[in-house]
Chain A
Amino acid sequence: MPKNKIPNSIKFLILISIAAIVTFFILRKNKTKNDAATDEITTEAAIMEDIDQSANIFKYNNILFSLPSPYQISLLLEQSGIPYNKDLLHTTSKASDYVENFSKAVNFGIYGSDLGYINIYRQTQDAASYFAVLKILSQEIGLYNAMDKPTIERIEKNIENRDSLLVIVSTTYRKIDNYLKANDRENTGALILAGGWIESVYILTQQIKTNPNKELMTRISEQKRPLENLIKLLVPYSNESKDFYFLVDRLIDLAYTFDEIEDKYTYVPPITDAKNKLTIVKSKSELVMNKEQLASITDKVSVIRNYIIK
């Protein structure tokens, strides 16, 4: 049977038409976004005008919440002379049990925090198995671009070099954060951050049981604001699943306990050394946490962690 051949010129016309339609929708989408953003700015501007004529704060998408690196807690533990305790870490054998995106993402954060702890204590014999788990989970979560082959090779090469590894792993986490935000997967990014924060605070609260130390107590009480920021990051997705809802609900409950901690702040003018591009902030803050509050925080963090690693 003779084949009905479409002339190349017709094919080109069809392709151009498709390109034009797709372009129209792409530009239209951007325009809609811009229009929506313009509306938001207009509404916001009207509200802000009522409050303060000089203020022009774009409050819709541009309030960002930051969490301190979980590695800073591990560094404090190590610098305080508290010995390494592998029993506190999440076992790598559980990693293959995680099926849902929720448990994979939140446990990716937990294992990442554990790897930081191992690395800071220079326990290279344990690092390889934790990194292997992170590699598998990263592929399952779909982080191919952020955790690509060269990055994995760089981490493997530096597994015994504490300082280089800290920089590389932190940079990788930053790339992951950017990749997830750029791909509208902020929910996964927030879960990874949540896992990292919960694990670092869990290790801290467990270590203080056997190593009571004023500095560690203060570091626990300082988690009030990071916890508030974490909740604000997670709340928009809390209805995505039962697990998500439970996590947010428990974190809010934990925040109530943190709210009971007495907090005093005194402003002291900072000193700036322009030559060295350095500002020394000398303001004073004092947090007073009693034993009951510490016990309650320790229990609540433990319950949350046990739920997400189950």
Chain B
Amino acid sequence: MNRFYTLFLILFFTGLSLPSNAQSDITLQNCTKYLEPEFISDGQQYKALLSGGEVAEFHTTFYANNYYRIVGATGKMEKNVIFSIYDEENHLLFSNKDHKNSPYWDFQFTNSINCTIEAKLNQKEVTSGFVLLLIGFKQ
């Protein structure tokens, strides 16, 4: 009987933490399948919890003569992350919104430049969730 109670409690608390972990795992799988092994990860994982029209932004440097891939995902369904890249003078260089919210896009930089990447949810489909962005480069 005691074992039953213990098992009940273990399952109860495990159940509490499952939904968020499961969402993170699926999001990660949706990102990595477009990145590796063709592209090498920069070793960092960019994650932000967003709701509504909130925007996560991050600042990065892309080196000259390198190929990069940026992948964005949230949850099970693809094409629910809109990401845009701006240069240091705030010119829009690219937005996946113009390409059916493509989950990934490749970039080639003829010069090294500093960029800001903004990511937000496709509000038509998702109202809140973790947005994950990964950056990979090619040898």
Contacts and interface: CB of A to CB of B under 8 A. Distances in A.
Given A64-B58, A66-B60, A167-B36, A284 B139 contact: no
Interface string A170-189: 11011001100100000000
B5 A265 contact: no
Given A270-B93, A279-B105, A280-B107, 12 more contacts: A8-B5, A15-B8, A62-B49, A63-B59, A64-B48, A68-B63, A171-B32, A229-B60, A272-B94, A277-B102, A280-B108, A281-B111
B66 interface: yes
Given A8-B1, A75-B139, A68 B56 contact: no
B61 A167 contact: no
B43 A229 contact: no
State the 3 A-B residue pairs at the shortest beta-carbon distance, nearest first: A173-B43, A64-B58, A66-B60
A57 B57 CA distance: 8
Contact of B113 (A8, A57, A219, A265): A265
Interface in B1-41: 1-2, 5, 8-9, 12-13, 16, 28, 32, 36-37, 40-41
Interface in B84-100: 87-89, 91, 93-94, 99
Interface residues of B, number: 61
Contacts of A282: 110-111
Contacts of B137: 68-69, 72
A241 interface: no
Contacts of A280: 107-108, 110
A279 B55 contact: no
Contacts of B63: 68, 72, 219, 222
Contacts of B64: 218
A239 to B, nearest CB: 24
Contact of B93 (A57, A71, A279): A279
Contacts of B78: none
Interface of B: 1-2, 5, 8-9, 12-13, 16, 28, 32, 36-37, 40-50, 52-64, 66, 87-89, 91, 93-94, 99, 102, 104-114, 118, 134-135, 137, 139
A161 to B, nearest CB: 11
Among A75, A171, A173, A226, residue most surrounded by chain B Cβ atoms (within 10 Å): A171
B94 A270 contact: yes
Nearest to B118: A57
A61 interface: yes
Among A66, A67, A285, residue most surrounded by chain B Cβ atoms (within 10 Å): A66
Interface in A10-65: 11-12, 15, 19, 22-23, 26, 41, 56-58, 61-65
A229 B59 contact: yes
B41 A171 contact: yes
Contact of A11 (B2, B56, B89): B2
A66 B135 contact: yes
Given A58-B56, A62-B54, A281 B41 contact: no
Among A65, A272, A277, A278, residue most surrounded by chain B Cβ atoms (within 10 Å): A277
Given A69-B137, A171-B36, A174-B41, A11 B54 contact: no
B139 A181 contact: no
A285 B111 contact: yes
Contact of A58 (B44, B50, B139): B50
11 contacts: A61-B48, A65-B59, A177-B43, A177-B44, A222-B61, A279-B106, A280-B108, A281-B93, A281-B110, A283-B111, A285-B113
B44 A66 contact: yes
Interface in A152-170: 163-164, 166-167, 170
A300 interface: no
Contacts of A278: 105-108
A65 B116 CA distance: 10
